[in-house]
Structure 1
Amino acid sequence: MAHLRSRRRRALAVPVGLALTASLGLLPSAATASPQVAAASAAAAQDGPKLSYVVNTATDPGTVGQVKKAIAKAGGTVVTAHAKIGVIVVHSANPDFAKTIRTVKGVQSAGATRTAPLEAAATTDVGKPEKVSEPRSKNALSAAKATGKEPLEPLQWDIPAIKADQAAKVNPGSKKVTVAVIDTGVDDTHPDLAPNFSAKQSANCVGGVPDTTKGAWRPYNPDEDYHGTHVAGEIAAARNNVGVAGVAPGVKVSAIKVSQPETSLFYAESVVCAFVFAADHGVEVTNNSYFVDPWMFNCKNDPDQAAILDAVGRAAKYAQKKGAINVASAGNSNFDLAAKELTDASSPNDTTPAERKVDPAACLDVPTQLPGVVTVSATGPLNLKSYYSNYGLNQIDVAGPGGDKYQVPEAPAKDGRILSTMPDGDYAYLQGTSMAGPHVAGVAALLKSKRADATPQEIQWLLKAQADNPGCPTAPYDPDGDGKVNAECAGTKHINSFYGFGIVDALDAVKK
């Protein structure tokens, strides 16, 4: 699962590894307004804080039109309507808005997408990663060019770990394939990203309505909203004798910004907008290194959370139907997603979190656990599950390099985390499943480059079939060496709770 899923994958939740020396912490019938709606008064509609809502309906024009009328009577204002998937984004200060609108014929679910008022703004202390300098001397650049590597590539243990360096020599990826980074924005002026950036497939979706003004997709604050730029470089940093190399250095990358200014929260209306925008603009792969705020898990028995599940699920499904394969990170809480019960102490993360017990069978990490989404766990330099990575039998599809400060790579690499691009032309190390997802998205883009007609389902099957599974560890899983077992791996050599079907293989993607 921004900021790096710390979990806030932060994705986020808050970026997991934030400094070069820091640790993880980084349907269809015409709708009519019900008597309850008709009775809603203008005064009642303004009694509470203004919140954002998703109202999910049948998709026929008659129903959508009638529900819009009911929304107005209940004290709501329509921000946008995604009629093709039946999702309407609404603002309302009526504390009874959701309860009232759920009684309207044609409304299938409705709920608040946040617990904080629309006007609220809270700063998030995510820290500042230590930057990595690119070699600038002629000797260093000549040496890198002579070996066919980018100047900083020797520090990227993750590229050879999935044979992406070998794959680039066979097929670096097609310019006809675009990976959309749904995240905190991307600095498209970075010299490693500019050659592969697709502005026409980029937008700012914060609030639910896409803004395609030039540069609207860039980070609000480069010092804090660097997550998306790091992710983009992992996917498609160009092989141009500058900086680092991406997994698929020949494909296009676009940015769809969904993080709120100042808080970096990813609300449902923004994510719905992103999936729909990506689908309607011909994106082949979406990367989702975040969970939808403010709930780490959205439970079906809660009407607000159920509405979020419904809305984002419809949007993700729409993107899949339009040909996009959606890749998402599994999260950084070392949770067994197949357990009978989990403790979520971080939700809601936009007001005051309260500890709650959740049933993973009924409470889903969104979009990670939505049907059809490729769920990715993280590994380190030793091909061992990263200490923070969520896992779970039949919950993880595949794994990818996400970094691990406890796993030491072979020289000349020096750091077990992932080195990639940062705003303003910089580079830095981060770790998290937020970093694992982009590696898988890059391999998916290579598969799509080789097999242009492949469906999202076929790409997902190929990712699994070509993955290399290290199997469950033979020794107790104790990555931090404190003598305590941190997780139990279940399953077989072919499919297990740590790696799903295995660690993705970029070389197989372009050769087989």
Structure 2
Amino acid sequence: MVTMLLDRRTLLKGIGAAGASVSVAGLASASDGSVEYVVTGKGNGVSDAVADAGFEVFRTVADGEILGVRGPADAESDLSGVAGVSAVSRDVRLDFTEPVDRRVVDPDETDEEPAFAELQWDNRRIDAGEAREFATGEGTSVAVVDTGIDFDHPDLGNVNEDLAATFIPEDASATDGADDEVRGHGTAVAGVVGATGDQGIVGVAPDTELIPVRVFPDEGGARFIDIFAGIDYAAAVGADVANFSLGVPGVLPPQANQGGIRAAIQTVFQSAVRRGTVVTASAGNAGGNLQQGGGFSLPNSVPAAFSVSATGPNDELVFYSNFGTNEIDVAAPGGGYETLEKTLSTDTPFPFPTNLVFTTYPLERGAYVYIAGTSFSAPQVAGLAALVRELEPNAGPSQVEQAIQQGAELVNGKSDPELGAGRINALNTVESLAKKNGKNKKKKK
């Protein structure tokens, strides 16, 4: 039995406000009323110096270069004056605005394997099926830094529960740890990366190992310091890729460029890349032009992030995706069309909702979902990075990124304002590497 639950008004609210996206839920503070800060510093003694100045250091990230700090309100200048501190910002909490349209599947009443492959236009657009004849992500791992992953989903049997980790505020709850039973976003991202195809759909890298890194509690937002801790953890456990489909909402003005959050993101991402982890990041869903006026968005404007814009079934940039020369590295399917009106139309080659990305969702919330956003273009690239790492396990992050860019299509060069080096093509990428390394196609299962 298959039941379609569609609510155009909800989808309009979700995508129109920028897809499965995040918004600022407020400034971060502790249950005792103290204010929480993100502090960036250099040197081994920064944490001790901050503590000696009367502040509480409650989280340490990236070998002590990033600190989660509690103290009184309006203490930025005091913290900035501590020896070794280079940037300070109030921490904030981010929370989701997401559509709830979903397709509900009863696994006991569906015996097709996979049941919904025909709905995955995104897989076909990037030639993922043909690419899996050369590589499937075997021997690799992708950390999904998000809301966790549903441990019981029939298409996500490749979740490594032993490496699952949770980073949330001390006064918040995460039922069953990194098992995503409530929020859904991380499960949807994970399906794009590496759904196994055992039941409903198949991801780009079905044999990769998925590592759930939960940074959102059951209710309420995620602090940046916890998100940073999640990225840091992914690198610490040796993940080949860390997917980061989260970020600061909107397009930020030039004067915000020197803020402490950007400095911290850059420090954490660079630390992860130095340790060998590719960090794929969504370009953002504000529909913003990042090449004029000095505006930028986070995390994709940070050099260490492999930034991904979103395209639709016709390979055009989708209406909600940010864009800008030197801001976009590659593009990948994210769902929707060039305008919201066209996206919601039923008179197109892929009528609503089939022009959205169809992916996994928690069993308790419907098993599969139609959803859209750059949140779902980034994991397409994360899955492809896993295929690259299978073929070239010793390739550094920059080499993985170059291989993906060289395999992309539709544009010349690497600086197209909408697509960067182009819309990814998994087959082009892995076939070229396989030929270079003298490897044959894998045997089909």
How big is the shift at 1:200? 3.0
Distance change (3 Å), C-alpha of 1:511 and 1:215? farther
How big is the shift at 1:10? 5.0
Partners of 2:334 and 2:361 lie apart in 1 by: 16
Q: Give yes or no for the alignment of 1:430 onto 2:414.
A: no
Matched positions, count: 404
Match of 2:280 in 1: 327
Aligned amino acid, residue 361 of structure 2: M
Match of 2:336 in 1: 404
How big is the shift at 1:496? 1.4
Deviations 1:469-505 (A, max 9, x none): 2x4xxxxxxxxxxxxxxxxxxxx67641121111111
Q: 2:51 aligned to 68, 73, 84, which one?
A: 68
How big is the shift at 1:51? 2.1
Is 2:334–2:356's contact at 8 Å kept on the other side of the alignment? Answer: yes
Aligned amino acid, residue 326 of structure 2: N
Match of 1:89 in 2: 68
Q: Give yes or no for the alignment of 1:58 onto 2:42.
A: yes
Across the aligned residues of Structure 1 and Structure 2, the Cα RMSD in angstroms comes to 3.1
Is 1:6–1:12's contact at 8 Å kept on the other side of the alignment? Answer: no
Distance change (3 Å), C-alpha of 1:153 and 1:8? same
Partners of 1:249 and 1:262 lie apart in 2 by: 30
How high is the TM-score relative to the length of structure 1? 0.72
Match of 1:317 in 2: 270
Partners of 1:58 and 1:125 lie apart in 2 by: 36
Partners of 1:273 and 1:4 lie apart in 2 by: 28
Partners of 1:278 and 1:167 lie apart in 2 by: 26
Deviations 1:443-463 (A, max 9, x none): 111111111000000011111
Aligned amino acid, residue 107 of structure 1: V
Deviations 1:7-48 (A, max 9, x none): 66553349xxxxxxxxxxxxxxxxxxxxxxxxxxxxxxx9x9
How big is the shift at 1:386? 1.2
Match of 2:393 in 1: 452
How big is the shift at 1:168? 1.7
Partners of 1:423 and 1:51 lie apart in 2 by: 34
Partners of 1:329 and 1:250 lie apart in 2 by: 23
How big is the shift at 1:272? 1.1
Q: Give yes or no for the alignment of 1:257 onto 2:248.
A: no
Partners of 2:281 and 2:78 lie apart in 1 by: 34
Is 2:23–2:97's contact at 8 Å kept on the other side of the alignment? Answer: no
Is 2:321–2:374's contact at 8 Å kept on the other side of the alignment? Answer: yes
Is 2:284–2:321's contact at 8 Å kept on the other side of the alignment? Answer: yes
Match of 2:186 in 1: 228
Q: 1:280 aligned to 232, 236, 242, which one?
A: 236
Bigger-Rg structure (1/2): 1
Distance change (3 Å), C-alpha of 1:259 and 1:4? farther
Q: Give yes or no for the alignment of 1:217 onto 2:178.
A: yes
Counterpart secondary structure, 1:199 = coil
Match of 2:316 in 1: 384
How big is the shift at 1:412? 11
Deviations 1:232-282 (A, max 9, x none): 001100032x1001011111111111224423x332101110111111111
Counterpart secondary structure, 1:170 = coil
How big is the shift at 1:206? 1.8
Q: Give yes or no for the alignment of 1:502 onto 2:434.
A: no
Is 1:300–1:306's contact at 8 Å kept on the other side of the alignment? Answer: no
How big is the shift at 1:103? 1.4
Match of 2:205 in 1: 248
Aligned amino acid, residue 464 of structure 1: Q
Counterpart secondary structure, 1:169 = coil
Distance change (3 Å), C-alpha of 1:317 and 1:123? closer
Match of 1:373 in 2: 305
Is 1:331–1:389's contact at 8 Å kept on the other side of the alignment? Answer: yes
How big is the shift at 1:283? 0.7
Distance change (3 Å), C-alpha of 1:167 and 1:208? farther
Partners of 1:433 and 1:443 lie apart in 2 by: 16
Identical-pair percentage = 28
How big is the shift at 1:167? 1.4
Match of 1:11 in 2: 21
Distance change (3 Å), C-alpha of 1:214 and 1:323? farther
Match of 2:441 in 1: none
Aligned amino acid, residue 131 of structure 1: R
How high is the TM-score relative to the length of structure 2? 0.82
How big is the shift at 1:423? 0.4
Aligned amino acid, residue 444 of structure 1: A
Counterpart secondary structure, 2:303 = coil
Is 2:406–2:429's contact at 8 Å kept on the other side of the alignment? Answer: no
Partners of 1:102 and 1:506 lie apart in 2 by: 46
Q: 2:168 aligned to 189, 192, 206, which one?
A: 206
Distance change (3 Å), C-alpha of 1:429 and 1:9? closer
Is 2:131–2:430's contact at 8 Å kept on the other side of the alignment? Answer: yes
Which stretches in structure 2 are left out of the alignment for 5+ residues? 1-12, 25-29, 433-445
How big is the shift at 1:230? 0.5
Counterpart secondary structure, 1:201 = coil
Q: Give yes or no for the alignment of 1:131 onto 2:72.
A: no
Q: Give yes or no for the alignment of 1:79 onto 2:58.
A: yes
Distance change (3 Å), C-alpha of 1:426 and 1:83? closer
Is the strand fraction higher in 1 or 2? 2
Counterpart secondary structure, 1:131 = strand
Partners of 2:14 and 2:280 lie apart in 1 by: 15
Aligned amino acid, residue 417 of structure 2: S
Q: Give yes or no for the alignment of 1:238 onto 2:158.
A: no
Deviations 1:397-425 (A, max 9, x none): 11101111536775899710110000016
How big is the shift at 1:125? 6.6
Aligned amino acid, residue 91 of structure 1: R
How big is the shift at 1:136? 6.3
Is 1:208–1:271's contact at 8 Å kept on the other side of the alignment? Answer: no
Partners of 1:113 and 1:285 lie apart in 2 by: 26
Deviations 1:372-416 (A, max 9, x none): 211111111111111221111221111101111536775899710
Q: Give yes or no for the alignment of 1:112 onto 2:93.
A: no
Match of 1:487 in 2: none
Distance change (3 Å), C-alpha of 1:124 and 1:437? closer
Partners of 1:284 and 1:459 lie apart in 2 by: 10
Distance change (3 Å), C-alpha of 1:233 and 1:4? farther
Match of 2:223 in 1: 267
Partners of 1:285 and 1:385 lie apart in 2 by: 25
Counterpart secondary structure, 2:370 = strand
Describe how 1:147-186 pairs up with structure 2 within 5 A. 150-174=114-138, 176-186=139-149
